[in-house]
């Protein structure tokens, strides 16, 4: 176990740089914070390449097990000062442990249509918190994955990973442009369903079919019209108050559970 206290240490600077997208993409690495997230990763067979711990931390058997597994796998275990950990995470009073992981393969080939009757799709979702929530929803409903279309927020950002509550490690994730996704989808079975107001059906009475790809659009603009018209089914959820729409991630969750009730 290495010990680092200096804030100008090259390792501290490298770890700090992973908070920035351009550095994450260059290194193909991302950071996850907290023992719960790291334990979820470990239970799915993913171990951090670098495990970073605070000097002053509470003893926990799960952390002990994580240290052993990382060292056995040839990973780097580092103990840092509280000030160094704050610099690395960019947070005051940070979690006592964080880890650096290699980014996953996010090609469409990672999505197995036969794994679940439901797959979630998000188009141009810009808020990392919403993206993390979509991952949590996908995990909760047992979806076969989450497909990110076009220019979505970075799923490997610290904010998205944190919001996923560990689902970044449990849910198959793919990223693609619209044309690539459309070609892949139409090459096999799959019903594409969109949350939409254009010639749409009530979401509670719509005829869903497996495998069902439930797609939500950008938080402020929704889905482009051409994308909606490509869908096999368009559905809407009645708004009983003054609001004219739901949060994109919330809409995805509502639709996902309704689809499962019909075809799951």
pLDDT tens digits, 90-115: 777 777 899 999 999 999 999 999 99
At the fourth CATH level, which superfamily is domain 2-102? Answer: Ribosomal protein L30/S12 (3.30.1330.30)
What's the pLDDT score for residue 244? 62
Concatenate the DSSP letters of all residues of 33-96 into one string.
Answer: ESHHHHHHHHHTT---SEEEEESS----HHHHHHHHHHHHTT-EEEEE-HHHHHHHHT-SS--S
The alpha-helical segments, DSSP class H, found in the chain are 10-17, 21-27, 35-43, 61-72, 82-89, 128-140, 158-164, 178-186, 225-230, 248-263
Question: Residue 189 is inside which H or E element, if any?
Answer: none
Distance CA 130, CA 149 (A): 14
Distance CA 176, CA 105 (A): 12
This prediction has a pTM of 0.91
What's the pLDDT score for residue 243? 64
Q: Which residue has the tokens 């994580």?
A: 66
Q: What is the dihedral of CA 188, 191, 197, 198, to 10 degrees?
A: 60
Distance CA 116, CA 7 (A): 47
Question: Residue 156 is inside which H or E element, if any?
Answer: none
User: Domain-by-domain residue ranges, the chain?
Assistant: 2-102, 108-263
Distance CA 144, CA 187 (A): 17
Q: How many CA atoms lie within 13 A of 32 on its CB side?
A: 30
- By the 10 Å C-beta count (0-12 exposed, 13-18 middle, 19+ buried), 209 is classed as middle
Give me the sign of the Cα torsion angle 173, 224, 128, 141.
negative
What's the pLDDT score for residue 245? 67
Distance CA 222, CA 162 (A): 25
Distance CA 151, CA 48 (A): 27
Phi and psi angles of residue 240, each rounded to the nearest 5 degrees, phi first: -95, -10
CATH architecture label of 108-263: 3-Layer(aba) Sandwich (3.40)
Q: Would you mind telling me the total number of residues written for the chain in this entry?
A: 264
What's the pLDDT score for residue 2? 84
> What are the strands, taking DSSP E only, across 168-253?
173-176, 191-195, 201-202, 212-216, 233-236
Residue among 249, 253, 210 nearest 233 (CA)? 210
Q: Please check whether residue 134 is in contact with residue 160, taking contact to mean a CB–CB distance below 8 angstroms.
A: no
pLDDT digits (tens, 9 = 90+) for 169-180: 999 999 999 999
* Under-70 pLDDT residues of the chain: 242-245
């Amino acid at each position: 176990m290495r010990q680092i206290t200096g804030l100008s240490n090259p390792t501290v600077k490298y770890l700090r740089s992973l908070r920035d997208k351009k550095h994450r993409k260059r290194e193909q690495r991302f950071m996850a914070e907290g023992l719960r997230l790291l334990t979820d990763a470990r239970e799915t067979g993913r171990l951090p390449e670098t495990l970073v711990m605070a000097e002053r931390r509470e003893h926990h058997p799960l952390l002990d097990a994580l240290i052993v597994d990382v060292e056995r796998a040839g990973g780097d275990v580092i103990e840092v000062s509280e000030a160094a950990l704050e610099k690395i995470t960019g947070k005051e009073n940070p979690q006592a442990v964080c880890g650096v992981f290699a980014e996953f393969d996010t090609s469409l080939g990672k999505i197995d249509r036969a794994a679940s009757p439901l797959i979630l799709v998000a188009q141009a979702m810009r808020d990392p918190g919403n993206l993390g929530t979509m991952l949590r929803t996908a995990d909760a409903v047992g979806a076969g994955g989450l497909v990110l279309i076009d220019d979505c927020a970075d799923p490997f950002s610290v904010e998205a990973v944190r919001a996923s509550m560990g689902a970044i490690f449990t849910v198959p994730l793919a990223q693609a442009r619209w044309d690539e996704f459309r070609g892949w989808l139409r090459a096999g079975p799959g019903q594409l369903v969109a949350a939409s107001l254009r010639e749409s059906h009530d979401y509670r009475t719509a005829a869903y079919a497996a495998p069902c790809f439930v797609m939500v659009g950008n938080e402020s603009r929704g889905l482009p019209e051409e994308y909606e018209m490509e869908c096999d089914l368009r559905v809407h959820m009645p708004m009983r108050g003054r609001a004219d729409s739901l949060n994109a991630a919330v809409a995805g969750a509502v639709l996902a559970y309704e689809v499962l009730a019909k075809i799951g």
